[in-house]
A and B are shown apart, each in its own frame.
Chain A
């Protein structure tokens, strides 16, 4: 009499061993499949790479802008023109009061005479001023805002607060374009978010569709495998690895494309920054960014194939 096996599950260590062997086989098998169909694999990878590259580039550009903008906001001085009634002697006390505000970094008093001197030196209207005889300039305090990552609301709030002070005739922000830049950046951030979501969905669909075709092509194999006792996990595994490789491969390609793009841009950007007297370089993805992109790609690939495989596997049963 032959040894019989009852429906007890195999012992734990044997199951672990089988689990490991099965994983290794699925891994090798799914890689081999990519290798055996190089053209269609390359096309799919490229589509995924492009979908991942676009939001990543947006993200990198935004990151760079955000790194640069604190420098700009520091130059965003507010000129606080005071009422004519304010005497020069009152200026230092007023400046000190302003400097105590949490949203003010520096408050520099400029007396009428100093203002005239500066104007005379820089404006080229020295002779015109001389003909006036009397100093037409009001006393002034130059306020440098202390901004936390330059949000427009605090800047605006500060200007409003200054305008509401009785001694102030008018507070003017020199660099309103900074405000506009912040708005544009916020818009870009939103746009990047939406774009990322849409293109992430695109990656899910591309991977899902590829895996769906794969499942349909191997329908017969799945039926036979179920017939001889394959678990759903066993059947699912090569497809999941397939999706993982697609996502990861696409992300790797995207890293290469983004890096090349940044290298191409870095020359002109440096030239531009020198024109503005700045000294900043175009930052790349960085180590963390690269890891995040690779991880995201792999995750999207895995998720795409998981959803598809689970949806289709149920309908394939031996007949």
Chain B
């Protein structure tokens, strides 16, 4: 599903964020990406979601070689991916419902279909009763869950999350991770970047460790 071959990312200032990364994640699999901040976790996720392009190497996502995708095709490519950030990137000028609806609006769904899918997604993250709320009135954990609902509302094949529990207490973090496990159970390929080793080592999924842009694989302990 996700395949990286010899991928290197060097920024114009000479900093090499990733060096010769080889990584493969099967369809329907789930893995954690660990490492210190600055180890290249975010860069890796950005390369997979085509926010950035690699300096060298090949990336294949869902059967498409990203090198061959033109700028015009990038939006359509991104529609197969749900992305979640530590900072949830919610829009504060509209309700929870409208935030979650954005990917569907962009894809031109009709209103009844949008309402149905948005409510289903909000239900999955347990926020159905907050659909009319303004994002600022929600707690941090709730905002993060709205972000997750928005990432999954269009049923993407792949879910990428960059430090999704970075701002949350251990209890909320565990809840969020449980959500990802549930999405994985219904077939979504999930890749989560996190430095919370205590939490993720208890979840029984493979972990990939990044250190200064290089890869070290660790097996799950449970």
Q: Do A and B come from one complex?
A: yes
From B77, B105, B155, contact of A7 by CB (8 A): B77
Contacts of A14 in B (CB 8 A): 108
Q: Which residue of B lies closest to A16 (CB)?
A: B108
Q: Quick check: A319 and B80 within 8 Å, CB to CB?
A: no
Given contacts A22-B108, A319-B51, are A224 and B102 in contact (CB under 8 A)?
yes
Nearest CB in chain B: distance from A267 CB, A:
51
Q: Quick check: B106 and A225 within 8 Å, CB to CB?
A: yes
Q: Quick check: B91 and A230 within 8 Å, CB to CB?
A: no
Q: Bound complex: CA of A227 vs CA of B108, how far in Å?
A: 16
Chain A window 1-17, contacts with chain B (Cβ cutoff 8 Å), 1 for yes, 0 for no: 11011110110001101
Given contacts A6-B62, A18-B108, A22-B108, are A228 and B102 in contact (CB under 8 A)?
yes
B contact face: mostly helix, strand, loop, or mixed? loop
Contacts of A213 in B (CB 8 A): none
Nearest CB in chain B: distance from A252 CB, A:
29
Given contacts A5-B157, A7-B77, are A228 and B63 in contact (CB under 8 A)?
no
Q: Quick check: B64 and A228 within 8 Å, CB to CB?
A: no
Contacts of A319 in B (CB 8 A): 51
From A7, A227, A230, contact of B80 by CB (8 A): A7
Nearest CB in chain A: distance from B78 CB, A:
4
The size bracket of the interface on A is 20 to 34
Chain A window 219-244, contacts with chain B (Cβ cutoff 8 Å), 1 for yes, 0 for no: 01101111111111010000000000
Of residues 73 to 98 in B, which have CB atoms within 8 Å of A's CB atoms? 73, 75-80, 83, 89, 91, 93
Given contacts A18-B107, A18-B108, are A229 and B62 in contact (CB under 8 A)?
no
Contacts of B49 in A (CB 8 A): 227
A21 interface residue (CB < 8 Å to B): yes
A174 interface residue (CB < 8 Å to B): no
Nearest CB in chain B: distance from A66 CB, A:
50
Q: Quick check: A2 and B75 within 8 Å, CB to CB?
A: no
Q: Bound complex: CA of A232 vs CA of B73, how far in Å?
A: 11
Of residues 121 to 151 in B, which have CB atoms within 8 Å of A's CB atoms? 150-151
Nearest CB in chain B: distance from A248 CB, A:
25
Contacts of B79 in A (CB 8 A): 5, 228-229
Q: Quick check: B76 and A9 within 8 Å, CB to CB?
A: yes
Q: Quick check: B78 and A228 within 8 Å, CB to CB?
A: yes
Q: Which residue of A lies closest to B110 (CB)?
A: A21
Of residues 42 to 90 in B, which have CB atoms within 8 Å of A's CB atoms? 49, 51, 62-64, 69, 72-73, 75-80, 83, 89
Q: Which residue of A lies closest to B88 (CB)?
A: A224
Q: Bound complex: CA of A9 vs CA of B79, how far in Å?
A: 11
Contacts of B166 in A (CB 8 A): none
Q: Bound complex: CA of A9 vs CA of B109, how far in Å?
A: 15
Contacts of B107 in A (CB 8 A): 10, 18, 229
Q: Quick check: B51 and A318 within 8 Å, CB to CB?
A: yes
Q: Which residue of B lies closest to A233 (CB)?
A: B75
Contacts of B106 in A (CB 8 A): 225, 228-231, 234
Listed in ascending order, the chain A residues whose CB lies under 8 Å from chain B are 1-2, 4-7, 9-10, 14-15, 17-19, 21-22, 25, 220-221, 223-232, 234, 317-319
A/B interface sample: 28 pairs, CB < 8 A = A2-B188, A4-B62, A4-B157, A5-B79, A5-B80, A7-B63, A7-B69, A7-B76, A7-B77, A10-B107, A14-B108, A17-B110, A18-B108, A18-B109, A21-B109, A220-B89, A221-B93, A224-B102, A225-B102, A225-B106, A226-B75, A227-B89, A228-B106, A228-B150, A228-B154, A231-B72, A318-B51, A319-B51
